[in-house]
Amino acid sequence: MNKEILRQTFLEKRKFLTKEEYKRRNEGIFTNFFDLVSLEEVKVIHTFLPITAQHEVDTWPIVHELNEERKDIRLCVSKTITTENRLEHYYFHEKEQMKNNGWGIPEPIWGEKVAVKDIDMVLVPLIVFDKKGNRIGYGKGYYDKFLSECKEDVIKVGLSLSPPLDEIPYCDALDVPLDFFITPFGRDDVF
């Protein structure tokens, strides 16, 4: 098995979750994020926004909670610059500033840019992860490049609908390991 086969296998598994199970797991992630993640020193959180067709983790409840109840924390989201294979980051204010791109990812169409060095925590999308902090995403490398540009002490949090694998043997030098993961089942720290 290689990285692409693992990616496709877990994408298919995720799509087969029933609506009720998908909802239940997202509610678990929401609860575990706010119960098990310290936000005490965090001023700026970058979050991905879900590709609903791919049954990604629904981050909208987290966005809403932070935006409405945690005025001490600023949220930012990305816009994909495909011609340069990179992400640009903008402060999030409201859903009305978002529009789906060609992949179905909500992206800002206006807003104030955010410098990567100002981001304290990144919520990272993934398809599957392991107990060592490795993840497999969609294979474009946008998040690995972004994470490699972040400040050294940025907190890298993966959000996953499923528990970890013991090990993903297909990692390379460009893959940036994460610090911990939040799942519907709890928090998985890296060993």
pLDDT digits (tens, 9 = 90+) for 84-103: 889 999 999 998 999 998 88
Q: How confident is the model at residue 26 (pLDDT cuts 50, 70, 90)?
A: very high
pLDDT of residue 148: 94
pLDDT of residue 189: 93
Q: In CATH, which of 3.10.20.600, 3.20.20.140, 3.20.10.10, 3.40.50.10420 is domain 3-185?
A: 3.40.50.10420
- Statement: the pTM of the whole predicted model exceeds 0.85: yes
Identify whether the C-beta of residue 87 lies closer than 8 Å to the C-beta of residue 49.
Answer: no
pLDDT of residue 83: 86
Domain boundaries, the chain: 3-185
Q: Return the percentage of the chain with pLDDT > 90, whole number.
A: 79
- Segment 144-170 mean pLDDT: 94
Identify whether the C-beta of residue 99 lies closer than 8 Å to the C-beta of residue 20.
Answer: no
- Give the separation between CA 47 and CA 45, rounded to whole angstroms: 6
Strand partners, 45: 75, 121
pLDDT of residue 174: 76
